[in-house]
Every structure is written in C-alpha cells, then in structure tokens.
Amino acid sequence: MIILDAGTGLRKLGQALLQEFSSGAMNLTLLLSHTHWDHIQGLPFFAPIYESRCRLRIIGCEGSRKTLVEALTGQMETTYFPVPFSQLPSNIEIEELQDFTFDIGNTIVRAKRANHPGVTVGYRLFSPDGVVCFFPDVEPRSGGHQKDLVEFVKDADLLLLDSQYDSEEYRRHVGWGHGCVRDSVALAVEANAKRLLMFHHDPDHTDARIDELVKAGRDFATEAKSSLVVDAAMEGSTILLSPGSKV
C-alpha cells in the first residue's frame, strides 16, 4: 500500500486501515513530496504507528535545513506532542531519496524536483493498472519548468496537480510555489493526461467555489478540444484505475 503525503487526512486513513486490517501485519509505504507542515502534520495522528504489527517505510527528500529524520521526529518532541517518535512501537524506516527511480512492490516510482520553495518533489507511479502522477505543490509556469513537467507526467491516467488559485489569484501569488486551474488544465492537456484531479485547494475556497473552479477547468479543457476529465480531489473518494492499461 502506497500513501502519498501525510496531511491531516492521514488520521482518517489510519482509522480506516485499522478497521480493514484488524489483525496481521500491515506493510505501508509513505511517499512524501516535502516536509511543509500541511504534508507531514497527520503523521503523529496516524493510528497504525502505535501498533507493533505496522511496518512503515517513509521515503522523501531532505527537510530543507534539516534531515528528513529531524523534520519528522522534531514535530513529535515534547514541545509539540506527548509521545516521542522513539517510543513508537511500530517499525518505521525513514529514507532520504537517493535514487529518483525505485520500486515499491510491483510499482515503479520515479521522482522529480518540483518548482516550490524548499526541497520538493512530485512522483510518477507506474502501477500495473495505470500511471498516477502526484504533484501536490508545484508552480509549473514560473522558472521554465513547464516543459520538463509535461514530459514527466506524459500520458498519465490520473494526474493530481496543485491547482490552488484561479487566474486572478495566481497573478497576486506568482512565485509562491502554487499553480492555478488554467495552467493545470493546459499542462494536463499538453501532456495528454486522461484525468486531472485539481488538488491543494486554497483554504479560503468553499466547496461551492471549488465547484466553480472545476467548471472553469472543464471549460478550459473543452476550449482546448481535449477529452481530459477534470475533477477536484475530494476527501474519502475512491478512484479505480482500469486494469491492463499500459505503463
């Protein structure tokens, strides 16, 4: 099982996993895009780490000015949290990304640096059922990264992409490391992705606002005469990849 990032949603995932795997070993791999707070804060609240039968492999890049180990265990020091990382009964391995291509079970993973403050990557997962690309925090347009990114996410079956802003909001936040809906759709269309999941929603956007942005995204795809499917990423949703699609 591969988990992408450790935001606050990790708490609910932990509960669901304990219910689904009520006994026996639990083997999990967590891929981190970076150590900004909104991507690691769920880890102390992830119930499986309090179970000795849980084996968790965490892979990510260094925590900017700290090592990955320091960044992850630091948020569990007594100033912030009652249970120190060293007292967790589960078996946790923390590995800094060395090779940008590696395997997790039958899934081949590739990582790529993303244009975002600090040290940040996105992932491309080649699973037997399809290709999933995950770039939760990236500003594709500035810094000339767009072309590389298009190549990296080429033909993805599912592309989860930072689409935090509308075009007007983006103009006020150029250089902040996040993308806008228009650029996300343009990138997904150019890369011939099948489905785009807009992600990293702005905390000030209500569900109604996100619905409007999805509609705008679909209109951009139609304008571009593309069959790209555009949706917003949503808590608790299940998406099945079609078995047998090419990697």
- Angle, helices 181-190 vs 207-223, to 10°: value is 40
Instruction: State the residue number with the nearest CB to Zn ion.
Output: 36
* Least distance in angstroms from the C-beta of 63 to Zn ion: 12
**Minimum CB–partner distance for residue 243 and Zn ion (Å):** 32
**Smallest gap from residue 200 Cβ to Zn ion (A):** 6
Task: State the minimum distance, in angstroms, from the CB of residue 98 to Zn ion.
Answer: 22
Please state, as a whole number, how many other Cβ atoms lie within 10 Å of the Cβ of residue 88.
18
Smallest distance from Zn ion to CB 118, Å: 7
Nearer to Zn ion, 46 or 54 (CB): 46
| Closest CB to Zn ion among residues 135, 220 | 135
Tell me the site size for Zn ion, rule CB under 5 A.
3
Select from 30-38, 71-79, 101-109, 210-218 the region that touches Zn ion (CB under 5 A).
30-38
Query: Could you write out the DSSP letters of every residue in 159-199?
Result: EEEE--B-HHHHHTTTTSS--BHHHHHHHHHHTT-SEEEEE
- Confirm or reject binding of residue 162 to Zn ion (CB under 5 A): no
Mark residues 82-121: x for contact with Zn ion by CB under 5 A, - for none: ----------------------------------------
- Scanning residues 176 to 195, which ones bind Zn ion (CB under 5 A)? none
Per rule CB under 5 A, is residue 38 in the interface with Zn ion?
A: yes
Cβ 122 vs Cβ 138: under 8 Å: yes
Q: Does 137 bind Zn ion (CB under 5 A)?
A: yes
Confirm or reject binding of residue 36 to Zn ion (CB under 5 A).
Answer: yes
Q: Which two tokens stand for residue 3?
A: 């988990």
Residue 198: closest CA among 157, 234, 172 = 234
- The count of C-alpha atoms lying within 13 angstroms of the C-alpha of 138, restricted to the half-sphere facing its C-beta, is 31
Phi, psi (degrees; rounded to nearest 5) at 205:
-85, 125
Least distance between Zn ion and beta carbon 120 (Å): 6
Quickly tell me which residue has 């992600």 as its tokens: 199
In this structure, are strands 54-60 and 130-135 parallel, antiparallel, or unpaired? Answer: unpaired
When the beta carbons of 51 and 139 are compared against Zn ion, the nearer one is 139
Name residues whose C-beta falls within 8 Å of residue 48's C-beta, 6 or more positions apart in sequence: 14, 17, 18, 26, 28, 54, 56, 90
Q: Does 201 bind Zn ion (CB under 5 A)?
A: no
Binding site for Zn ion (CB under 5 A): 36, 38, 137
